[in-house]
């Protein structure tokens, strides 16, 4: 019998990528979104505090506008994000409402987190939403975020944003749902003999060497960005699980301690 994992999970950050929220044709994956809303609503009903970090604004915008490829122009990306974010939140609002769950939107830029006063204001918003059993839905504010010399506002990707949110809110656990089942010893898309690594307690140069390649054409992440997020969680003595987002209800199994995906956790 496989041993169950021991996890603290009173406050959880769940990060979902564009690959979970959309099909390859850019259309919304309504089944996955419904499962996600059902699962997170159920966790709140169990008394857990839940924060959702959701990618997808640009991916959804591309689908709505019938654009196949993510443009390289920053103004074009920002315009597409403005369209997609509205649609994404509308869908979330409707699906969470079916399960009687209230949500609140928080759009962040890096400078908001960096400056002490605004950092505290954002933290106060998180704490008050959670106290009211409201799920904060977090995304980078893609419509205004840039990364130019002294005006650094971008997080880079939502993998790292989710780790920043998890550490700043003192969450026990970050669950990252992706288009891959966990961290492998080599790229499973290229090598049939790739082996899933069930747990990692230390990230070093060798770990990063095993992580290669980019994310999907609609998203921005890849395994390296997920490792950087896990590294941030380990440095804060927090835990992270990387697992498949194909069926978001996997979160229930993860919190029951089922050894699915890869657990990043410092050995006790």
Helices and strands (H and E) in the chain: how many: 10, 10
Q: Which domain holds residue 217?
A: 11-264
Give domain status of residue 214, yes or no: yes
- Indicate whether 65 belongs to any domain: yes
Question: With pLDDT > 70 as the criterion, what percentage of the chain qualifies?
Answer: 90
pLDDT at residue 141, as a whole number:
75
Q: How far apart are CA 6 and CA 173, in angstroms?
A: 12
Q: Is 179 annotated as a binding residue?
A: yes
pLDDT at residue 135 greater than cutoff 70 = yes
Mean pLDDT of 202-210: 84
Residue 146: pLDDT band (50, 70, 90) is: low
Q: Where does the chain have alpha helices with state H? A: 18-21, 30-45, 57-65, 74-98, 110-114, 116-131, 158-168, 205-210, 223-235, 250-255
Average pLDDT over the chain, rounded to whole?
87
* Whole-number pLDDT of residue 66: 85
- CB contact at 8 A, 77 and 142: yes
Let me know if residue 218 belongs to a domain.
yes
| Residue 154 binned pLDDT confidence (cut-offs 50, 70, 90) | low
Q: What is the CATH number of the domain that holds 125?
A: 3.40.1160.10
Q: Is residue 2 part of a domain?
A: no
- Please give the radius of gyration of the chain, using alpha carbons only, rounded to the nearest integer: 18
pLDDT the model gives residue 36: 98
Q: How far apart are CA 233 and CA 228, in angstroms?
A: 9
- 169 marked as binding residue: no
Mean pLDDT of 157-166: 91
Q: Is 48 annotated as a binding residue?
A: no
Residue 190 among known ligand-binding residues: no
Residue 168 has pLDDT above 60, yes or no: yes
Tokens standing for residue 172:
């026990």
User: Is there a binding annotation on residue 222?
Assistant: yes
Main-chain dihedrals φ then ψ at residue 153, nearest 5 degrees = -120, -15
Within a 13 Å sphere around the CA of 175, how many CA atoms are in the beta-carbon half?
Answer: 29
114 is in an annotated binding site: no
Is 178 a known ligand-binding residue?
Answer: yes
% residues pLDDT > 90 (the chain): 53
Residue 226 marked as a ligand binder:
yes
Q: Is 158 annotated as a binding residue?
A: yes
* Any domain includes 1: no
Task: Look at residue 145 in the predicted model and tell me its pLDDT.
Answer: 55
Q: Is position 167 within any domain?
A: yes
Coil, strand or helix at 242: strand
Known binder of ligand: residue 142? yes
Asked if pLDDT for residue 55 goes beyond 70, the answer is yes
Q: Has 121 been labeled as part of a binding site?
A: no
Q: Is residue 5 part of a domain?
A: no
Number of domains in the chain: 1
Region of residue 244 (left: phi > 0; alpha: psi -120 to 50; beta: else): beta
Residue 147 has pLDDT above 60, yes or no: no
Task: Show Cβ contacts of residue 54 under 8 Å, excluding neighbours closer than 6 positions.
Answer: 15, 16, 21, 88, 92, 137, 138, 139, 158
Position 176 in a domain? yes
Confidence of residue 91 (pLDDT cuts 50, 70, 90): very high
Q: Is 55 annotated as a binding residue?
A: yes
In tens, the pLDDT along 20-41 reads 998 887 788 999 999 999 999 9
> Annotation-wise, does 27 bind a ligand?
no
pLDDT band at 116 (very low <50, low <70, confident <90, very high): confident
Distance CA 33, CA 236 (A): 30
pLDDT-based confidence at residue 216 (cuts at 50, 70, 90): very low
């Amino acid at each position: 019998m496989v041993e169950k994992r021991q996890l603290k999970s009173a406050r959880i950050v769940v990060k979902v990528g564009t690959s979970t929220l959309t099909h390859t044709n850019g259309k919304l994956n309504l089944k996955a979104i419904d499962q996600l809303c059902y699962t997170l609503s159920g966790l709140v009903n169990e008394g857990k505090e839940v924060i959702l970090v959701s990618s997808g604004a640009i991916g959804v915008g591309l689908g709505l506008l019938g654009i196949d490829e993510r443009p390289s122009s920053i103004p074009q990306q920002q315009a597409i994000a403005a369209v997609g974010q509205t649609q994404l939140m509308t869908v979330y609002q409707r699906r969470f409402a079916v399960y009687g769950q209230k949500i609140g939107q928080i759009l962040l830029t890096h400078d908001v987190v960096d400056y002490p006063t605004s950092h505290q204001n954002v933290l106060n918003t998180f704490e008050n939403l959670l106290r009211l059993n409201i799920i904060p839905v977090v995304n980078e504010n893609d419509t205004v975020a840039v990364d130019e010399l002294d005006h650094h506002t971008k997080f880079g990707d939502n993998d790292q944003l989710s780790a920043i949110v998890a550490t700043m809110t003192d969450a026990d656990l970050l669950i990252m749902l992706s288009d891959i089942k966990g961290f492998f010893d080599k790229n499973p898309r290229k090598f049939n003999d790739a082996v899933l690594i069930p747990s990692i307690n230390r990230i070093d140069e060798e770990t990063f060497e095993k992580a290669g390649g980019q994310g999907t054409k609609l998203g921005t992440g890849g395994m390296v960005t997920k490792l950087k997020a896990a590294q941030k969680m380990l440095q804060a003595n927090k835990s992270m699980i990387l697992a498949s987002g194909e069926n978001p209800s996997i979160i229930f199994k993860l919190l029951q301690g089922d050894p699915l995906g890869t657990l990043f956790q410092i050995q006790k």
